[in-house]
């Protein structure tokens, strides 16, 4: 089972910040939080990941709470092309490696 | 950055035939690749973990004799859907981990293969 829960859908006005929350209350101390997005009929695209500190890159910012039980992905100025399903993932250890188990994700719709 | 290529992007096959899907890591070596299936308006479901030089590990409920996985080299994994039926029609996606990256680095996904069985 996925180790994360997200709201099923959100709307955001174009040009405004999109804040996508994620709960991962069972995350272990050395596990990262990963964010991907999937635009219709494409493979998931990596956005950002973090361990305990807030992270920022050219696509987004990731805010992780101090207890690490939740995080928020921030798209600072959403555009219509940001309309996608956003997945928050915590890896699951298995047989010497880690696998991604996807939850339901959040369907973000950016409105003109 | 790391690139994973999937081929074909779309395939239509007749019921009862087999279809092979390729997943290649183009600029890195991947000892581990993953295969997912996605039905319309649903999330990705992990089918199996593909390990170079050894047998794949299948998730519960996935038929290993129906979905044959071969990972014969560090840059190529193949998924063969055997005796395909219309209910196997789906979007199949692979992902790979760069073996040279440090702990915590994200996985790269292919662009997916749309399989339609008629």
**pLDDT tens-place string over residues B24-33:** 999 899 989 9
Distance from CA of A73 to the nearest CA of B (A): 16
Q: Would you state the pLDDT for residue B102?
A: 64
Q: Would you state the pLDDT for residue B104?
A: 64
Q: Would you state the pLDDT for residue A3?
A: 86
Contacts of A41 in chain B (CB under 8 A): 91, 112, 114
What's the residue count for chain A? 112
The answer to whether residue B97 neighbours chain A at the CB level (below 8 Å) is: yes
From B5, which residue of chain A is nearest by alpha-carbon distance? A43
Distance from CA of A61 to the nearest CA of B (A): 16
Mean pLDDT of A105-112: 97
Put simply, the answer to whether A43 touches B46 (Cβ < 8 Å) is no
Distance CA A89, CA A35 (A): 6
Mean pLDDT of chain A: 93
Distance CA B56, CA B48 (A): 7
Taking 80 as the threshold, does the pLDDT of residue A23 lie above it? yes
Put simply, the answer to whether B44 touches A102 (Cβ < 8 Å) is yes
Spans of chain B below 50 pLDDT: none
Cross-strand bridge partners of residue B95: B34, B109
pLDDT in tens, A71-91: 999 999 999 999 999 999 998
pLDDT in tens, A26-73: 898 788 899 999 998 899 999 999 999 899 999 999 999 999 999 999
**Structure token digits, residue B53:** 């030089």
**Which own/partner pairs from B102-108 qualify as long-range (CB within 8 Å, at least 24 positions apart)?**
B104/A32, B104/A49, B104/A51, B106/A34, B106/A36, B106/A46, B106/A49, B107/A46, B107/A100, B107/B34, B108/A46, B108/B1, B108/B2, B108/B3, B108/B4, B108/B25
Q: Would you state the pLDDT for residue A110?
A: 98
Distance CA A21, CA A71 (A): 6
- The partner residue sitting opposite A99, judged by closest CB among B49, B110, B112, is B49
């Amino acid at each position: 089972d996925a180790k994360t829960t997200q709201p099923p859908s959100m709307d955001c006005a174009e040009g405004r910040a999109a804040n996508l929350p994620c709960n991962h209350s069972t995350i272990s101390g050395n596990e990262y939080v990963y964010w991907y997005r999937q635009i219709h009929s494409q493979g998931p695209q990596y956005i950002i990941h973090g361990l305990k500190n807030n992270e920022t890159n050219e696509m987004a910012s990731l805010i992780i709470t101090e207890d690490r039980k939740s995080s928020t992905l921030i798209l600072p100025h959403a555009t219509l092309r940001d309309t996608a399903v956003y997945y928050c993932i915590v890896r699951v250890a298995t047989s010497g490696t880690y696998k991604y188990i996807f939850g339901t994700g959040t369907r973000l719709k950016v409105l003109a | 950055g790391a690139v994973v290529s999937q081929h074909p992007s779309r395939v239509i096959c007749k019921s009862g035939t087999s279809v092979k899907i390729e997943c290649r890591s183009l600029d890195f070596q991947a000892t581990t690749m993953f295969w997912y299936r996605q039905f319309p308006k649903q999330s990705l479901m992990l089918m199996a973990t593909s390990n170079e030089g050894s047998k794949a590990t299948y998730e519960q409920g996935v038929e290993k004799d129906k979905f044959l996985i071969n990972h014969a080299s560090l840059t190529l994994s193949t998924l063969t859907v055997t005796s395909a039926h219309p209910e196997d029609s789906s979007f199949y996606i692979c992902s790979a981990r760069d073996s040279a990256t440090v702990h915590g680095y994200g996985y790269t996904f292919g662009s997916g293969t749309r399989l339609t069985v008629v």
